[in-house]
Amino acid sequence: MWDREFDREELYYSSLREAREEAWGKAEQKERLQFAQRLLAEGLDNDIIARCTTLPLSLVEQLRSQLVAGF
């Protein structure tokens, strides 16, 4: 009985931790994208932006294309 309650509680708290980590990850990714957009607007090179934000170069290139297209 006690083991089942403990397992259920552990599962609950584990799920909360995972949800919190996922939320933090999404917020961090959003901040990096916004930072990359600001750097692009300042005219920095794609390679530099990718290194500074740790975003993939292909994503930075995509962001630049969107900026040029006016999105």
Structural domain boundaries, residue 22? 2-69
Predicted confidence (pLDDT) per residue in 51-66, tens digit: 999 999 999 999 999 9
Low-confidence ranges of the chain (pLDDT < 50): none
Number of structural domains the chain divides into: 1
Residue 64 pLDDT: 95
Residue 25 pLDDT: 87
Residue 1 pLDDT: 56
Residue 68 pLDDT: 86
Q: Which two tokens stand for residue 65?
A: 């294309």
Residue 71 pLDDT: 66
> What one-character-per-residue DSSP string does 1-68 give?
-HHHHHHHHHHHHHHHHHHHHHHHHHHHHHHHHHHHHHHHHTT--HHHHHHHHT--HHHHHHHHHHHH
Q: pTM for the full model?
A: 0.71
